[in-house]
Amino acid sequence: MTAMAHEPLTRAEVLLEGFLALDTPEGFRAELIEGDIVVTPPPDGDHEDYIELVVSQVYRRSRTDMQFSGNKGLKLKGGEACPKSHAIPDGTFAPRKLRLFKGAEPWMPCDGVTMVVEVTSTRPQADREAKRRCYARGGIPLYLLIDRDESSVTLFSEAEGDDYRQHCTLPFGKALALPEPFGFELETSEFV
């Protein structure tokens, strides 16, 4: 028998294999964003408070019954540097009737995800730019960015290609309209 020659791995394939083999310390998150491996420490209490404020309003006020995950890995298109990205949004919402998270692998496709939420922390530019592009390429309809440095909240919508066509930025304290399937105004007065 002759051994078959193996095709050499591309840089992107080596990067993806290395990323998936990472063993991060407890509580840390590793993500592969547009060809960069990003490891972030556990979030601080204020970060978690912002997430809880959003989640509680969605559960109480959304017109559609939503399911939430605060630790779900999503497989996304990554761009030229790396064709695949793997992100863990601070929050992921999907209609409960879809039960997207039940039985899902650690890294799941983003089909059916309605909105992702990020709260800026150690690398705010990644949340503002690279992750925004990844979420748009994944076709995620809504991206909610809570920017602590800017004291603002931005809703990106109408994903097209590498970005969102629409965005609305308001200072903390102003109500932000979340469109259907949510259909309510997100109160941000407690973000101040």
How far apart are alpha carbons 175 and 188 in whole angstroms? 6
Instruction: Report d(CA 131, CA 86) in Å as an integer.
Output: 10
Yes or no: say if 77 and 84 are a contact pair by the CB < 8 Å rule.
yes
| Token pair belonging to 16 | 């993806």
Residue with tokens 């890294």: 107
Global pTM reads: 0.90
Note whether 154 and 167 are within 8 A (CB): yes
Beta-bridge partners for 137? none
Is-contact 110 81, C-beta < 8 A? no
Give the pLDDT of the chain (192 residues) as one tens digit per residue. 444 567 777 878 888 888 888 899 988 999 999 888 889 999 999 999 999 999 999 999 999 999 999 989 999 976 665 668 899 999 999 999 999 999 999 999 999 999 999 999 888 999 999 999 999 999 999 999 999 999 999 999 999 999 999 999 999 999 999 999 999 999 999 999
Residues 6 or more apart in contact with residue 99 via CB below 8 angstroms? 67
Residue ranges of the domains in the chain?
11-191
Q: What is the pLDDT of residues 26-56, one digit of tens each?
A: 889 999 998 888 899 999 999 999 999 999 9
pLDDT of residue 4: 54
- DSSP string spanning 83-140? SEEEE--SEEEEEGGG-TTTT--SEEE-TT--EEEEE--S-HHIIIIIHHHHHHHTT-
Fold of the domain built from segment(s) 11-191: tt1808, chain A (3.90.1570)
Predicted local confidence at residue 79, as pLDDT: 63
Query: What's residue 184's pLDDT?
Result: 98
pLDDT in tens, 62-84: 999 999 999 899 999 766 656 68
Say how far apart CA 31 and CA 75 lie, in whole Å.
10
Predicted confidence at residue 94, as pLDDT, reads 98
| Distance, CA of 15 to CA of 57 (rounded, Å) | 39
Question: From its phi and psi, is residue 158 left (phi > 0), alpha (psi between -120 and 50) or beta?
Answer: left
Give residue 5's pLDDT: 60
Q: Left if phi > 0, otherwise alpha if psi is -120 to 50, otherwise beta: which for 173?
A: left
